[in-house]
Structure 1
Amino acid sequence: MKLVLLALLVCVAAARPDYGPASSEEHGSETLRNEFDIADNGAYTADMETSNGIVMSQSGSPTGPEDAILATGYFSWTAPDGTPVSVKYVADENGYQPDSDILPVAPEFPHPIPQFVLDQIEKARKEDLDRSSEEYRVPTSYRAP
């Protein structure tokens, strides 16, 4: 019985995931800093930095509706083409709201609508009018002589 328990413990230890620092041979970087603090009230801070320039920082607390976590944070890295990338964000009752120069920006509204789109809208409006007028026509078989 002791031998079976010992074998079971060895199997469990061997199957344990390794959450240690990543080796530079496997992933190309090492974790330089990885800090996570959580308070008794659920508030937390998390900071991480790797040797290849990835930086992440986040803090949050259960101050949202029904104690939902509201968080703010920042992450950055260098893109393969050498472009520095940084994103600041807020995650709250309005969802995830990133802010970065790398994110596309929608055109200001109202923006000009191309003529072919206006023509298609007008055509659809006329078809709807024709269709609705046909629905309310009294068939000739029901008309009085």
Structure 2
Amino acid sequence: MFKSALIISMFLVAVIRAADESQAEITKYRNEIKEDGSYSWEYGTSNGIDAQESGVGGVNAAGSVKYTAPDGTPIELEYTADENGYQPRGAHLPTPPPIPDYILKALAYIEAHPFTRIQLKK
């Protein structure tokens, strides 16, 4: 009985500590903005959040963020943003299902047999 009570109380303390992040403090902070429009910043907090980014304002950016999800999963996200849009990368992000074989075969056939356009008379 005592072991069960001890385990339950330790679990509750862990949950309460994880849920209360209002006391988190900034442990590192850096912010640089240059005259040519380039910039970089980074920060870290006592509850394990680390983030950084650098780039040229309005042109491109690259950065990352690391933290622990409420379920205890470590999250690491890297990203770039440029003329190709926002491109996040991380093991926690969903991935599309594989393309079925019949679609791949159809695409290969279409590529091997291009359509010849028909010119209509005016």
What TM bracket, shorter-length normalisation?
0.5 to 0.7
Larger Rg: 1
Name the structure where strand makes up a greater proportion of residues. 2
Could you tell me the percent identity over the aligned residues?
A: 42
**Displacement after TM superposition at 1:69 (Å):** 2.3
Partner AA of 1:30 in structure 2: E
TM-score (norm 2): 0.62
1:61 corresponds in structure 2 to 56
* Pairing 1:1-145 to 2, within 5 Å after superposition: 27-62=22-57, 68-110=58-100
CA distance in 2, matches of 1:90, 1:110: 29
Q: Which structure features the higher share of helix residues?
A: 1
- The answer on whether the counterparts of 2:59 and 2:83 sit within 8 Å (CA) in structure 1 is no
Give, in whole Å, the separation in 2 of the partners of 1:45 and 1:38. Answer: 7
The one-letter amino acid of 1:110's match is: P
Q: Distance in 1 between matches of 2:47 and 2:21?
A: 13
Q: Which runs of 5+ in 1 are unaligned?
A: 1-24, 63-67, 114-145
Residue 28 of structure 1, CA deviation: 2.9
Mapped partners of 1:106, 1:98: distance in 2? 14
Bigger RCO (CA 8 Å, 6+ sep): 2
Point out 4+ residue stretches in structure 1 off by more than 4 angstroms: none
In structure 2, runs of 5+ residues without a counterpart are 1-19, 104-122
TM-score by length of 1: 0.53
